Amino acid sequence: MALKQVSSNKCFEGFQKVFEHDSAELKCKMKFGIYLPPKAETGKCPVLYWLSGLTCTEQNFITKAGFHQAAAEHGLIVVAPDTSPRGCNIEGEDESWDFGTGAGFYVDATEDPWKTNYRMYSYIKDELPKLINANFPTDPERMSIFGHSMGGHGALILALKNPGKYKSVSAFAPICNPIQCQWGKKALGGYLGSDVSKWEAYDATQLVKSYPNSHLDILIDQGKDDQFLSAGQLLPDNFIAACTEQKIPVVFRLQQGYDHSYFFIATFINDHIKHHAKYLNA
Amino acid sequence: MSSRSGSAREYETSDRSPGLSAFPPVPESSENEAEGLIFYHMDLYGSKERFDIFPEELTGQDDRSLGDTRKESALSSEKFQRSQEAGYDLEKEVAELAKMYGLDEDREKELELLGGHLEMVESRWPPARTEKAGSQGSIYNASKSSSPMKDQSQSTKQQGLPGEASQDEEENKARAEDKAESHIGSGEGLSSSDMSDEWNSQAVSEEEAADVFCSTCKMPIRAFDKLFGEHKDHEVAQLPSAVESEKEEIHKNMCKLEEQIAQMENFASHLEEIFITVEENFGRQEQNFEVHYNDAVQVLAQKYEEQLEALGEEKRQKLEALYGQLVSCGEHLDTCKELTDATQELYLENDKANFMKAAVTMVDRLEEFLKKEVDLELSTLPDFEERVIDFSEVEQLMNSINTIPAPCAPVINPQAPNTATGTSLRVCWGLFSDDTVECYQLCYKPVSNERRSDEQAEHTLKVKETYCTITNLLPNTQYEFWVSALNASGISPPSERAVYVTAPSPPTIKNKKIRSCENAALVCWESRDINPVDSYTVELSKLIDEENGDTITESIVGIPNCEVLIHLQPTQSYRICIRALNLGGSSERSEPVLIHTTGTYFCLNEDTAHPLLAILDDGFTIACDELENPECDLPVYDNSFTRCIGILGSLIPFPGKHYWEVEVEEDTEYRIGVAFENTPRHGYLGANNSSWCMRHIITPSRHKYEFLHSGMTPDIRITAPPRRIGILLDYENCRLSFFNADIAQHLYAFNSHFQHYVHPCFALETPGILRIHTGIAIPRWTALP
C-alpha cells in the first residue's frame, strides 16, 4: 500500500496534497486528494470524505470548492478520491460520460465486465479509510462523508448503509432516488444487472425506509435552478418524503437561483464543513 | 470598592456618583506631624544606616569597616566613661544626650523639663552596657587564663626567651584590654564574631586558629582543646554556627532596645502634652480665682466704707442732741441763778413798801418759774445702734468662684454622613467657649413645608453629652434641631437651627422584572419613601455554596435610578440587595434576590400580550383557546399586539449570546423569534424588518417551516418536526439561529447585524400552547450549525 505523492501545495497553513496508490479493490492505480490542516502537524484529526459527481476526478473538488479555509479552521482532514477506476481497459468504459470512467456510482458492480474493477463502494467504505488511517494523523473513530450529485448519492448510501460509521452526512444536489431517474437506471442496470430489487440496496430513498432509529443529522443543499433537478435526475422530494415518514432529521435547503455547478458548492461549502465539524469535533 | 465600580461607571454618569470619588484627602505632610511628636533625632533610630552598621561589621572581613567601628566605638566608650565619671550628673547627661541625638537648642528646654524621664532612659542603658562589659570581660579573663596554658605547651620557646614572652604577654594583655574596652563602648553592636575574629588573629599569632566554640566557657577554642584540654567535658559548637546564634541573640536584643526606645519616645511626647495641658488648666484657674477674689475684695471694701459712714453719721447726731440738751440745761441754770440773785436783792431792800411791791412781782415770777418742770432725761443713749452686716453679696461672689455665669449658645454641627438610620438620627453639637455646662436642652421637630408647623409637636430632651441619638423617627424625613446649654446659673440662648435627615427606607426589588444572562443582570426596584433619595447602592455577594452568602463581595455605589445593569460571572449564584442613600446615611438592605448566571433569564412583557393570549400561572406558558376574529372589537391596549396573537419577552439589553427554548405541540401553528421593542403591534411577526421569526404552518401534505424576515423566507424543508426549538441570539456574530434542541439539529440561521437590542417574541396562530424555557446554559452544539 505504498503511497506516491503526486503534488503538495501549502494552503491556509496546511497542505493540499495528491497521492497515487495501487488499489487492491479496484485493481488499478488510484489518485486521491487530501487536505491536511495545520492541526494535523501536532495531533490527530477527524477525516471528512468528499465524493465527487459524474465526470469528476480528485481535482475538481480540491481546485474549485474552496473548502480549505473552513477545513483549516476546524481542523478537518478532507479526502477527495477519484470517482471511478481508471485505465482498466474495459470495453466501453469511456463511451459515455455518465457510465464507466468518471461514473463509478459508488456501487460494487456484480455484472461482467465491471465487477472486477468497479467496486467503488467497498473502496470508499474500507480500502480508502484504511489507507488514510495508516498514513496520516487521523482519528479513525471520527469520520464523516459528503458529496455532490452522484457523490451526494454516494455519501447518502454509505451513511445509510453503515449506521454509526459516519458521524454526519451532507450533500449538494444529490441523486436521491437513482432507481427512479435516467442516470441511475443506466448505471445501476449496467453495474448490477436488470434485477431492480438489487438496485434498491444503493438507493438512498429506499435505504431510509429500513434505516434503524440511529441518529443521523442530514443537511442537503439544492439549487433551485439546477437543470438536473428540473430534468428529474435528482428527485429530492422523494427522499424528503421518505425521511419525513421515517422521522429521519433532514434539513433540506432549496437555494434560490443556484444551479448544479461548483459555484453553487463553493457558496455553501462552509455551512457543510461546519455541519460536519459540529459532529466530528463534538 | 472593587473593579465593579468601573462597570457601574459605564452605565451611570460618574460625576453623579459621589461614592465613587469619595476618597479621603491625603494628609498634607505626615513627616511634619511626626517631627512634632518625636523629639529624638530621627537619624538615630529611623535611619537604616546606623542599623546596618552592625550586620556589616558582623561579617568582620573588611578591615576598613572594622577600623571604622573601632573609631566609633572608641568615641562612644569615651562618652560613656565620661558620663560614668560625672556620676549621673543630670544636666550634663541631658546635654550630652542632646548633642548625641542632634537636638537643637529649642528642644533642650523641653528636655530639661523632662529630665526625669530622660534620666530613666539613660539609667536603663548603663547597666545594660555594664552587663555586656562584664560578660565580655569574663571572656577576656577566661582567654587570659587559657593563654598561660598555651604558653606552657610552647615551653621551649617561652623558656628560651622568658623576658620577651612576659613582655609579649603584657602587650597582649594591653591590646586585649583595649579591645575589651572598645567592645564595652560600642555596646550591643559588637558581636562575638567580631571578637572571635580578633581572637582568631590573636590565636594565629600564637599558633593555629580556634575552630569551635565552647558554650560552657563562652569562648572560642581549638578542636584540639575539646578533646584534651580543660574543655574536654564542655558543650561545644562549630564556630560558624555559634557565631550565627550569637548574632541572632544580639539582633533580638537590638530589636528589644528599639522597641523600648520607641516606647519611651512615645511616653515622653505624651508627657510633654500633659505638661502643656496642666499648665493651661492651672493658668486658667488662676485667672479665674484672681478675677473672682478681686471682685469679692472690692465688694468687701465697699461694704466697709458704707458701714463706717453710717456709723459716723449716727455718732454726729447723738453728739448734736446731747449738746443741745447741755445748752438748754445751762440756760435753765442761768435763769435759776438770776432769780436767786433777784430774791436776795429783795431781802436786802429796806424799804418796806418797795419791798412789798417788788416781793409780789418776785413771788409771781418764782411761782411761774417753778411751775416749769425741769427736764432731766437724757435725750440720747451713749451706745450705738445694732447694725446687721450684709455678707450675702460677698457670699454669692465667693460661691460664684466655682459657679460660672450662664453659658453661651452652643454650636450645633451639620449632619455628618452615615450617622442616620431610617428611624434614628445622631445629632452633635459643641460649645464655642469654655463655659461650664450641666446639661443641654435639645429640641427638634419635623421640617414641614406647610405653614402649620406650630401644630407639629416640638420635642425637648435633656442631654448630658454633646451628642444625642434620637429614635422613633420617620424614614427619609427632615428634622430641625436646636440646642441650648444649661448650668446652675441659667440657660443659654438656643443655637442656630440645623436640619438633619433620616435615612431612607429599604427599597423593594421588583422580583418579576429581574432579567439576567451569563454575564450580567438587570435589576429594578422601587423606593418606599415619598421623598426622593440621593442614590442607591447595590451589594452583591457571590454564593460559593448556598450557605455562605453573608460576605459582601462587591458593591456598586452612586446609582441615580431605580435600575442597574450589573456585570457578573457566568454560571454563578449571586445574592443581591439594594440600599437607598441620602445625606443622612444608607437604608437597611432590601429583601435580597438570588440570581443565577446560568443561561439567559427573561420574563414576558404582559403589556404587549394580545387580548386573546393567556399567560398561565407559571408565567412562561402562553395559550390561546379561540381564534375567531382576532381583530374583533377587543379592547386595545397601548402596547399590545392587535393582529398577531403574540407577546414580547423582556430580554436583558446586554451583548453576547442568549439562548432559550420553546416547547411546541406538533399540531400548533406558531411564530417564534426576536423583534425590536418597537416592532409594529398591528403586523405579523416576521412580516416586517423589525422582527425575525420561525413560522410553523401545517399544510394538508406536510409541516411547513418558514424563516421570516421582512415577509421573506428561504425554501427549507425539515423532515423531523421539532418539539423543542432552541433559539440562539448571538449579537457578537450577528446571528439568530434555530435548532431542533432534542436532536441538536441546526435548522436555520439569520445573519443580521441587529442595530438595537431585541426581545424574544412568541405568537400562536392556532389554538394551543407554547412553553418557554429560560435559564438554560447555552448547549455546546450551538457553537456550530
SS3 A261: coil
**Distance (Å, whole) CA B196 – CA A70:** 79
**pLDDT band for position A1 (cuts 50, 70, 90):** low
**Distance (Å, whole) CA B785 – CA B738:** 9
Find the closest chain A residue to B747 by CA distance: A251
Q: For A85-92, what is the mean pLDDT? A: 88
Strand partners, A45: A138
Write out the DSSP string of A212-242. Answer: -S----EEEEEETT-HHHHTTSS-HHHHHHH
Q: Answer whether residue B765 shows pLDDT above 70.
A: yes
Are B743 and A248 within 8 A, CB to CB?
no
Query: By the CB < 8 Å criterion, does B713 face chain A?
Result: no
**Side chain identity, residue B513:** K
Evaluate whether residue B531 is within a structural domain.
Answer: yes
Highest mean pLDDT among B450-464, B491-505, B659-673: B659-673
Q: Answer whether residue B461 shows pLDDT above 90.
A: no
Q: What is the number of CB-based contacts under 8 A between chain A and chain B? A: 70
Q: Answer whether residue B554 shows pLDDT above 70.
A: yes
B248/B359 same-domain check: yes
pLDDT at res. B122 = 45
B583/B607 same-domain check: no
Average pLDDT value over all residues in chain B = 75
Evaluate whether residue B233 is within a structural domain.
Answer: no
Are B743 and A215 within 8 A, CB to CB?
yes
- Give the end of a domain, one of B453, B473, B501: B501
Query: By the CB < 8 Å criterion, does A277 face chain B?
Result: yes
Evaluate whether residue B354 is within a structural domain.
Answer: yes
Of B718, B743, B781, the CB nearest to A282: B781
Residues in chain B within 8 Å Cβ distance of A219: 746
C-beta separation of B740 from A249 below 8 A? yes
Are B783 and A256 within 8 A, CB to CB?
no
Find the closest chain A residue to B738 by CA distance: A251
C-alpha cell at B505: 427606607
Active site residue A226: yes
C-beta separation of B436 from B602 below 8 A? no
Interface test with B, best of A146, A252, A278 (most B CBs within 10 A): A278
Topology (CATH level 3) of domain A4-174+259-281: Rossmann fold (3.40.50)
C-alpha cell at A140: 479513525
pLDDT, tens digit, 9 for 90 and up, residues B178-210: 544 444 444 444 444 444 444 444 444 445 667
Write out the DSSP string of A15-56. Answer: EEEEEEEEETTTTEEEEEEEEE-GGGGTS-EEEEEEE--TT-
Residues in chain B within 8 Å Cβ distance of A240: 717, 719
Query: Where are the domains positioned within chain A?
Result: 4-174+259-281
Predicted-complex ipTM score: 0.91
Task: Please identify which residue in the block is written with the cell numbers 416749769.
Answer: B372
B104/B181 same-domain check: yes
Are A251 and B717 within 8 A, CB to CB?
yes
C-beta separation of A199 from A178 below 8 A? yes
**pLDDT band for position B530 (cuts 50, 70, 90):** confident
Find the closest chain A residue to B701 by CA distance: A241
C-alpha cell at A243: 425521511
pLDDT at res. B66 = 47
Active site residue A260: yes
DSSP summary character for residue A91 = T
C-beta separation of A45 from A39 below 8 A? yes
B99/B11 same-domain check: yes
Highest mean pLDDT among A187-191, B46-50, B335-339, B403-407: A187-191
Are B714 and A256 within 8 A, CB to CB?
yes
Are A251 and B781 within 8 A, CB to CB?
no
Q: Which residues contact B499 (CB under 8 A, 6 or more apart)?
A: B415, B447, B478, B479, B480, B481
Q: Compute the nearest-CA separation of A201 from chain B (Å).
A: 22
Query: By the CB < 8 Å criterion, does B723 face chain A?
Result: no
Of A249, A274, A278, the CB nearest to B719: A249
B184/B88 same-domain check: yes
**pLDDT band for position B143 (cuts 50, 70, 90):** very low
**pLDDT band for position A141 (cuts 50, 70, 90):** very high
Evaluate whether residue B219 is within a structural domain.
Answer: no
Q: Compute the nearest-CA separation of A256 from chain B (Å).
A: 8
Q: Which residues contact B752 (CB under 8 A, 6 or more apart)?
A: B692, B709, B734, B735, B736
C-alpha cell at B374: 425741769
**Distance (Å, whole) CA B292 – CA B405:** 12
Query: By the CB < 8 Å criterion, does B125 face chain A?
Result: no
**Distance (Å, whole) CA A163 – CA A151:** 18
Give the max Cα distance, chain A.
51
Q: For B90-98, what is the mean pLDDT? A: 58
**Distance (Å, whole) CA B292 – CA B407:** 17
In Å, what is the CA distance from B169 to each residue of B93, B536, B558?
38, 88, 85
Q: Answer whether residue B105 shows pLDDT above 80.
A: no
Active site residue A82: no
Selection from B652, B481, B646 nearest residue B568 by Cα: B652
- The least confident of A89-98, A273-282, B406-415, B563-572 is B406-415
In Å, what is the CA distance from A146 to each residue of A39, A149, A170, A255?
21, 10, 5, 18
In Å, what is the CA distance from B448 to each residue of B96, B374, B474, B502, B516?
71, 93, 13, 14, 42
**Distance (Å, whole) CA B551 – CA B556:** 15
Backbone phi, psi, residue B134, to 5°: -60, -45
B572/B697 same-domain check: no
B202/B251 same-domain check: no
Angle subtended by helix axes B63-85 and B192-206, to nearest 10: 110
C-alpha cell at B617: 400561572
Q: Which residue has the higher pLDDT, B76 or B372?
A: B372
Which of these is catalytic: A226, A272, A275, A276? A226
**Residues 172..231 of A with a Cβ closer than 8 Å to B: which?**
215, 217, 219, 224
Average pLDDT value over all residues in chain A = 93
Q: How far is CA A272 from the centre of its chain?
A: 13
- Give the end of a domain, one of B569, B596, B623: B596
**Distance (Å, whole) CA A246 – CA B783:** 28
Which of these is catalytic: A149, A168, A272, A275? A149
Q: Which residue has the higher pLDDT, B155 or A146?
A: A146
Q: Answer whether residue B1 shows pLDDT above 60.
A: no
Task: Please identify which residue in the block is written with the cell numbers 581572637.
Answer: B199
B71/B185 same-domain check: yes
Q: Answer whether residue B405 shows pLDDT above 80.
A: no
Of B747, B781, B783, the CB nearest to A251: B747
Strand partners, B709: B692, B712
Q: Compute the nearest-CA separation of A134 from chain B (Å).
A: 29
Evaluate whether residue B461 is within a structural domain.
Answer: yes
Pairing of strands A138-148, A45-51: parallel
Q: What share of chain B is helix, strand, coil (3-state, %, to 5)?
A: 40, 25, 35
Q: Compute the nearest-CA separation of A176 from chain B (Å).
A: 15
B178/B249 same-domain check: no
Residues in chain B within 8 Å Cβ distance of A256: 714-715
In Å, what is the CA distance from B612 to each residue of B136, B331, B635, B666, B766?
105, 143, 10, 21, 12
Are A277 and B784 within 8 A, CB to CB?
yes
C-beta separation of B706 from B748 below 8 A? no
B90/B167 same-domain check: yes
Indicate whether this model's pTM tops 0.80.
no
Q: Domain span at residue B9?
A: 2-208
Evaluate whether residue B379 is within a structural domain.
Answer: no
Are A251 and B745 within 8 A, CB to CB?
yes
Are A224 and B743 within 8 A, CB to CB?
no
pLDDT at res. B417 = 81
B581/B632 same-domain check: no
- Give the end of a domain, one of B472, B501, B530: B501
How many domains in chain B?
5
Query: By the CB < 8 Å criterion, does B785 face chain A?
Result: yes
Evaluate whether residue B633 is within a structural domain.
Answer: yes
B434/B473 same-domain check: yes
**pLDDT band for position B146 (cuts 50, 70, 90):** very low
Q: Rg of chain A over CA atoms, in angstroms?
A: 17
Per the document, the length of chain A is: 282
C-beta separation of B777 from B599 below 8 A? yes
Q: For B486-495, what is the mean pLDDT? A: 82
Evaluate whether residue B405 is within a structural domain.
Answer: no
Find the closest chain B residue to A242 by CA distance: B719
Q: Answer whether residue A150 shows pLDDT above 90.
A: yes
Are A278 and B783 within 8 A, CB to CB?
yes
Find the closest chain A residue to B739 by CA distance: A251
Q: Answer whether residue B79 shows pLDDT above 70.
A: no
Query: By the CB < 8 Å criterion, does B744 face chain A?
Result: yes
Are A251 and B784 within 8 A, CB to CB?
no
